[in-house]
Chain A
């Protein structure tokens, strides 16, 4: 217990220095460590900083300010759309020559029900529907074991067929929907040019969006949760949309409000989509267009879109077409001449900001399903700064008081344990920096708690040493026995706290996890520092001073 080999000594010093190297960048402003080239943003380390890691601790949103918003994808909507699409596929397949006549194909609850006109044709219909079935494709595009649909002939009704979507298929759709949503959200937030937002899946229905520095959640919600589903329709001037869009509409005609009207002006359009956002190649802000006051949004269609649009405008000269975005008509111009190049502009009363927002949305594409915020945690930068300040002060004062108390109680041994404590804090901070972990406000609480509890291991040892010394042992023997006998209790005691931290980390939600991280790391480092660092100091002292009696 009292012997330290050369390599052991070396590794203790090495680990401590490593901790220091990873910790100090947090206490020196970046501008002192680096010469930053204003022109291209490259950073050149100054002098000694060339040899020191550049990473600093990531601050959580509660410390640097920002928005943490969890969105839920409307999976019911996704399921309904899936069932409707299935019903439509079934109708088409039954209609193929030779047609099999169905009385109805409808979505009822979570199944598609096909009712045959003639029960004897049910077998043929079943075959056609089975042909639509195929194995579920999993994430990597491979075929899974399960099929997409369960197709069964109704036992009690000889004319009915029931089709349900398997849970495997739903899972596959859910995964795809979440992945698509995340891709679209990332493109939109990138378009905004904010500093590295985090977009991550959270469970099987939710997406977590974290934007550092953004303290207006609505701005983010507007950008993220807008569906941006865009389509081109021909206007039907023969149908009266009514003053509130309540007019009677024949089948195949839909009524939408004009976006700028605030719900007072409506227009009837053909339900059929001539083009969708999928055909959009690119859109951009046009600052000065000769026909409009203020900025407009220009767009360019892909090759196929341009052909369809050219044909549409040639055949419908003099009529109006409408561009519908999320169930609102954003423009409905009259076709004066065929537009063959596949590009056009959307006019409206846009400001530069709103035009830019529309461009970001159109370029990023539509969300596969609607998103609703279910959790928002927003902290302004000033609150974040205050929280860091008070956290830092609490750490400093708590640390100082513990040091004072330990030295008062244990004298020179107090110096050893508080030195170990200092190394401990350095290792925690270095560990957070080096492992790229995030420090949150509860994380600071974890550090303070560790400072209070970390001396426990030392106290256990010193109290043991005191007992042994009372039994007339020499200082060397007392130290030896103290460290040996306290080990079991120290390990047991720290493992239990570590279990608590681990459970908290695994089950804990968001902010609390930061606490679990610092507490867990703190326990590991405190065992190391109490048992290795303070022992080394005690041993060195013992060798240098050779006391006849321990000052305890």
Chain B
């Protein structure tokens, strides 16, 4: 068992990452600007959790036309229905997601109307398609969806804040600034990606964003850890060279961990079923962007924040 491909991966390359910082940061800025523009103009395709309303998952013959399903749901007069195919269910069957918008009504009256709409939708579908298989329904009221949005964004905010505090304690504030800029970059880029692809943004996506934050932080911390160590080791070396050296030192680790994580996530994306596709997609994107930001955002920022070299911190 002497075969170990890792031998071919250099432990200390000499790639001048930092020299490309303006290109990388410019690219990042461009992507952030594009994300914000997309977000402002196209917006996010919010899932049932955040949009509220009724969504039912059915399995029907694959010849069933999406237009027909939509017509059946629209005929109820309960608002414009959305229908999307959600992949094959095997044996000539396809899974469809049919949703109705949040029903009108003040307070609990609106909530009651939601339940009526669910019943009406289920009855209509069963009448129009006797062989249809109803697989599951989600009904989210206006109050609940509002609360879920607030908790979701609070969670992301709180997590970012705690990361900042943690880095502040473990490193110096200059690192903290770099890390938080990199993390915010990742969050915005992920939201932008969801805006661009119009993938459904739901509770699982929020979970994914938080995990991306954790993962990207993880990556950044590994690079920072090495920067701090090298700054102590090479007291005379220019900061830029120390940054490059540290990124190169940790590069093989960065690549290997990203690959194993991506391998697991791609398996989840391809095999994990419809419910986890959005989550896996967000995570795959997050691992890529998180790795990028640790190298090209978090590290170069240290050049601008004038990181202390005479740290006596253990």
Contacts and interface: CB of A to CB of B under 8 A. Distances in A.
A378 B136 contact: yes
- The 3 tightest CB contacts between A and B, nearest first, are A452-B264, A500-B214, A411-B4
Contact of B218 (A215, A375, A398, A493): A493
Given A445-B279, A489-B226, A496-B217, A503 B162 contact: yes
A296 B155 CA distance: 54
Interface of B: 1-7, 11-12, 49, 57, 107-108, 111-112, 114-115, 118-119, 133-141, 143-144, 148, 151, 154-155, 158-159, 162-163, 166, 170, 203-204, 206-207, 210-211, 213-215, 217-219, 221-222, 225-226, 229, 249-250, 252-253, 256-257, 259-265, 267-268, 270-273, 275-276, 279-280, 283
A67 B268 CA distance: 26
B159 A449 contact: no
B263 A452 contact: yes
B144 A70 contact: yes
Given A466-B252, A493-B222, 7 more contacts: A411-B4, A412-B2, A449-B283, A451-B264, A456-B218, A492-B221, A552-B6
B211 A519 contact: yes
Contacts of B214: 496-501
17 contacts: A215-B136, A373-B139, A377-B136, A390-B272, A393-B271, A398-B263, A442-B276, A448-B267, A460-B253, A489-B225, A493-B222, A496-B217, A497-B215, A503-B158, A509-B151, A511-B203, A515-B204
Contacts of B265: 398, 448-449, 452
Contacts of A459: 253, 256-257, 260
A374 B4 contact: no
B139 A414 contact: no
Nearest to A404: B263
B166 A499 contact: yes
A540 interface: no
A76 B111 CA distance: 15
Interface string A506-526: 011111100110010000000
Given A411-B3, A414-B4, A460 B222 contact: yes
Contact of A442 (B2, B162, B207, B221): B207
Given A504-B210, A519-B211, A455 B260 contact: yes
A496 B261 contact: no
Interface stretch (A48-56, A265-273, A323-331, A379-387): A379-387
Interface centre among B1, B112, B267 (most CB of A within 10 A): B267
A503 B280 contact: no
A444 to B, nearest CB: 8
Contact of A387 (B144, B159, B275, B279): B275
A442 B229 CA distance: 38
Interface residues of A, number: 85
Contacts of B49: 509
Contact of A402 (B144, B221, B263): B263
B112 to A, nearest CB: 5
A399 to B, nearest CB: 8
A453 B144 CA distance: 33
B210 A503 contact: yes
B14 to A, nearest CB: 14
A144 interface: no
A197 interface: no
A386 B91 CA distance: 14
Nearest to B133: A382
A394 B211 contact: no
Contacts of A262: none
Main secondary structure of the interface of B (DSSP, over half): helix
B118 A376 contact: yes
A46 to B, nearest CB: 35
A107 B138 CA distance: 39
Contacts of B133: 382
Interface string A387-416: 100110110011101100110111111110
Contacts of B143: 72, 374
A374 B111 contact: yes
Contacts of A509: 49, 148, 151, 203
A78 B9 CA distance: 70
A445 B210 CA distance: 14
A75 B101 CA distance: 26
A375 B166 contact: no
B115 A373 contact: yes
A535 to B, nearest CB: 17
Nearest to A77: B108
A217 B210 contact: no
A413 B271 contact: no
Contact of B268 (A74, A375, A445): A445
A516 B259 contact: no
Interface centre among B154, B252, B275 (most CB of A within 10 A): B275
A409 B166 contact: no
A391 B118 CA distance: 28
Contact of A552 (B4, B119, B135): B4
Contacts of B207: 442, 504, 508, 512, 515-516
Given A374-B111, A493-B221, A504-B207, A409 B6 contact: yes
A492 B225 CA distance: 9
A134 B2 CA distance: 83
Contact of B279 (A406, A442, A500): A442
Contacts of B203: 508-512
A190 interface: no
A508 B264 contact: no
Interface string A218-231: 10010000000000
A516 B204 CA distance: 11
Contact of B144 (A375, A462, A494): A375
A386 B89 CA distance: 10
A106 interface: no
Given A466-B6, A470-B11, A390 B273 contact: yes
B136 to A, nearest CB: 4
A497 B138 CA distance: 30
A180 interface: no
Given A383-B57, A489-B221, A496-B217, A452 B260 contact: yes
Interface centre among B111, B140, B154, B222 (most CB of A within 10 A): B222
A488 interface: yes
A372 B2 contact: no
A309 B154 CA distance: 58
B267 A221 contact: no
A507 B272 contact: no
A370 to B, nearest CB: 8
A406 to B, nearest CB: 7
Interface in A446-473: 448-449, 451-453, 455-456, 459-460, 462-463, 466-467, 470
Nearest to A466: B11
A218 B119 contact: yes
B271 A390 contact: yes
Nearest to B209: A500
A451 B264 CA distance: 7
A508 to B, nearest CB: 6
